[in-house]
Amino acid sequence: PATEVVEEAGHGITGTVDGRAIRVGNVRWLHPAGQQLNAEAIAAQGMTVVVVEADGQIAGLIGVRDELRPESAETVRMLQSQGIETIMLTGDNTRTAHAIAAEAGVT
């Protein structure tokens, strides 16, 4: 189990696991040196990149994303066919937002 867990608001969390200093958070906070291309590839797939660091070294990158409900794209098409303008509001980063919007059919 993790001990000494501290939330770093807007960035991620820190803690100790088996005596190792662990940080998990966003790329703006942890700057995954040498992994920027991998981080960009993950983001290009519509995922938010989470960086895992152990004892000051990048241990890995994780891509997470919200999945659209199965009926989302069909609903957007139906609304658009009726002349209703569709927009998407999100707090996600721009790349993720564009990928999800494209999947849903929101232009």
Q: What is the CATH number of the domain that holds 24?
A: 3.40.1110.10
Contact 39, 50 (CB under 8 A): no
Whether the pLDDT of residue 40 is over 80: the answer is: yes
| Mean pLDDT, rounded, for 86-107 | 86
Q: Which pTM value belongs to this model? A: 0.71
8 lies in the same domain as 54: yes
21 lies in the same domain as 44: yes
Band the pLDDT of 28: cuts 50, 70, 90: confident
85 lies in the same domain as 57: no
Whether the pLDDT of residue 93 is over 80: the answer is: no
The per-residue DSSP string of 4-18 comes to: EEEEETTTEEEEEET
Contact 73, 103 (CB under 8 A): yes
Q: Percentage of the chain with pLDDT > 70?
A: 100
Average model confidence (pLDDT) across the chain? 91
Beta bridge pairs of residue 29: none
Task: Count up the domains in the chain and report the number.
Answer: 2
| Mean pLDDT, rounded, for 80-107 | 88
pLDDT of residue 63: 94
14 lies in the same domain as 40: yes
Q: Which domain holds residue 56?
A: 3-64
30 lies in the same domain as 51: yes
Taking the CA atoms of 5, 9, 101 and 68 in sequence, report the sign of the dihedral they define. Answer: positive
